[in-house]
Amino acid sequence: MQAIVTGCAGFIGSNLCDRLLAEGHEVIGIDSFTDYYPKHIKQANIDQALQHPRFRLINRNILELDWSELLDKSQVVFHQAAQAGVRSSWGSQFTEYTRNNIEATQLILEAAKKADHLQRLVIASTSSVYGDAETMPTPETACPKPVSPYGITKLAAERLASLYHKNFGVPVVMLRYFTVYGPRQRPEMAFSKFIRAISQQQPIELYGDGEQSRDFTFVSDVVEANLRAAFVPDIAGEIFNIGGGSRVTLRHAVEQIGAIIGHPVRYLKEEPQPGDARHTSADISKAQKILGYAPLVDLATGLSKQINLIRES
């Protein structure tokens, strides 16, 4: 099978590429290496893939590509590329979010209308579409109420995908990720920042009271969910929550990091940030039933893996 992975040099995309290559697939990776975080980190993410004879990198922006040609011989597209970050989606940068999250997705969907070989288009979405959900754990049927511009753009991309499926039969499946962590996590994400600070015995910035909770999901479980979404038959048009079954408070997670590293945690308290949901919790019963999805990595194990990789780098 030939697969396309957008955002192939990113956190999730690079892990997904490695898994696809290990399973014998041909992979076309697309990444424009935006300056959202340092380019050398992204390059390191795909070092392993670049050594593989079945991997081809296209270093271009999604909006500049001829998607009709790309989809001509590809069976599956994993659309992982996005402008990430809740807090930076406010203000003048919002145009980057509309361009990279909405316009880029629409361009792929438009080309997919005529792609005869395309069997599945897996689109990465996010728990941010729920905002401050009224039900915990939150099922896919809950009314989306994003509390950040980022969440708005990801919900818009979902809605576009659903329209293209309904009107043109595009075989989309959407995965709503819940707080993904693990090796290659972006440097500005919480666990990466906490691990660096605690390792250097520096205080960590804690926004709010630390009692906000998240359903933390290890990256290998997210990769497995993508593969299942690509190959399970008769699920086009569906949306699935992908969580890790590790909903804990942020303070509890930080203390676990400190215990694994072996240093006490010191806090620098900051005001809560606009756009941050208070709690997230995934009802994954639909993914369990239809995809056969089951998270395998608990929080303590996952944190140890991420910490060990940072120590080795």
Active site residues: 150
Which phi and psi angles does 83 have, rounded to 5°? -85, 110
Asked whether the CA dihedral 296, 245, 218, 159 is positive or negative, the reply is: positive
| The residue to which tokens 């608990």 are assigned | 298
- Closest residue by Cα to residue 18 from 46, 43, 42, 59: 46
